[in-house]
Structure 1
């Protein structure tokens, strides 16, 4: 089983008013380009999405997410 030390994490905030499809596209691009995967997604009442992305620590030479 993997431990948290094997991963690096990147917190992101997607502003309210961003459509569901636009948010999915943003996260899909991060996955394709940077090797990130979705660890946690929280949708708040005001429409803000708080996202935690993770990837294996050995992929740290890849770029950080940009949203």
Structure 2
């Protein structure tokens, strides 16, 4: 999903995943994909939905000729 100058990626984490494991997964995405945490939502069943974001690289915008 693209909004303004940011690209967003929603990630759903199941309720059985530990907090440490979730941190490692999100850290890997941040380190190698350039993502940062934008928002988190905790559901009653214990699952989490997080939105990651990163600045758009103008050369990677779909339909844009370089």
Question: TM class by shorter-chain length?
Answer: 0.7 to 0.9
User: What is the count of residue pairs matched by the alignment?
Assistant: 58
Structure 2's unaligned 5+ residue stretches are 61-66
**1:45 Cα shift?**
1.5
Aligned-residue CA RMSD in angstroms?
A: 1.7
> Please, what TM-score do these two structures have when normalized by structure 2?
0.80
1:14-60: CA deviation from partner (whole Å, max 9, x where unpaired): 11110000001100000000000000011112111001000001187
Partner-residue secondary structure (3-state), 1:39:
strand
Misfit runs of 4+, over 3 Å: none
Identify the structure with bigger relative contact order (alpha carbons < 8 Å, sequence gap 6+). 1
- For residues 6-25 of structure 1, what are the structure 2 equivalents within 5 Å? 6-25=5-24
Instruction: Please tell me whether Structure 1 or Structure 2 has the larger radius of gyration of its CA atoms.
Output: 2
Structure 1's unaligned 5+ residue stretches are 62-67
